[in-house]
Amino acid sequence: MSLAGKTAIVTGAASGIGLATARRLAVAGASVAIWDLNEEGAQAAAAALVGEGRRAIASRVDVSKRADADAAVKAAREQLGPVGILVNNAGMSAFTPFMEIGEELWDRIMTVNLKSLLVCTQAVLPDMLEAKWGRVINVSSSSAQTGAATMVHYAASKGGVIGFTKALAQELAATGITVNNVPPGFVDTPMLREQLKDRVDMIAAASPMKRPGRPEDMAAAIAFLASEEAGYITGHTLSVNGGRYSS
C-alpha cells in the first residue's frame, strides 16, 4: 500500500492516535501536515519524521476556528502540495455525571469534536474536488455505539461524527472522494492515562481481548481507508475496539 505523492493532514497529531496515524501515513509515502494546539509537540513530531527522511510540517491549529484551518491548509498546500487526505482526529473527552454537565462544557465538546469536522473538511475539499480524489477519515468513538455512563456529552458529539460521515459520504460519493470513520475502543493514549490514572489496566483486563488498544491499531485502519485499495468504501464505520462492540 503506497501513498506516495499524496499530502495528508492529521489533526490532533502531537500524540496518541494522531501521532501514530501521521507516522503510518508518512511511512506509506505521504507528505504529512501535523496539526495540534500543542505547537511544541507538533513541531517535535514533524521534526522526528523529517529526521527519518519523510516530508512533514507542523502547524498550531485550533480545529474549531475557520481562520486557523484555512491558514494551515494554505501552508500545507504551499509546502507539501494539494491536500488529498484528511484525518479528523482532534478531540476532547470528559467524564461528567449527566446532571453536572454545564452548557459551557457541552458547547466546548461539541465545538471541538463536531464543529471541527465542518471547519476542517470544508477547508480541504476544494483540493480534493479539483483532483477528483480524496479521503476523509473521521475518528469517532465506540462510546457512541455502546453508550457510556458519565459521557453523555462526549458520546453525543461522537454520534454526530458518525452521522456526519454517513451524510457527507452520500453527498460526495460520485466525486471520487470517500468519507469514512473509525471508532476506537479503549486505546492506551496519554490522554486516557491522564483521565483514568491507574484504572487503565484494570478496565482493559475486563475487556474481551484483555488489553487496551494501541494507537498503532487505529493508525492501521485509518491508513487502509486512506489508500487506493479502499476506493469503493464510503460512509463506513470501521470499528477497531478489540471486541467491545460488534456490528
Among all residues, which ones are annotated catalytic?
Answer: 154
Question: Which set of grid coordinates corresponds to residue 125?
Answer: 475539499
Contact call for residues 217 and 129 (beta carbons, < 8 A): no
Report the alpha-carbon distance of residue 222 to residue 229 in Å, rounded. 12
Upper half-sphere CA count for residue 29 (Cβ side, 13 Å): 10
Q: Does residue 199 sit in helix, strand or coil?
A: helix
- Provide the total of helices (H) and of strands (E) in the chain, helices listed first: 10, 6
* Residue 163 β-bridge partners: none
Pairing outcome for strands 7-11 and 31-36: parallel
Q: Does residue 31 sit in helix, strand or coil?
A: strand
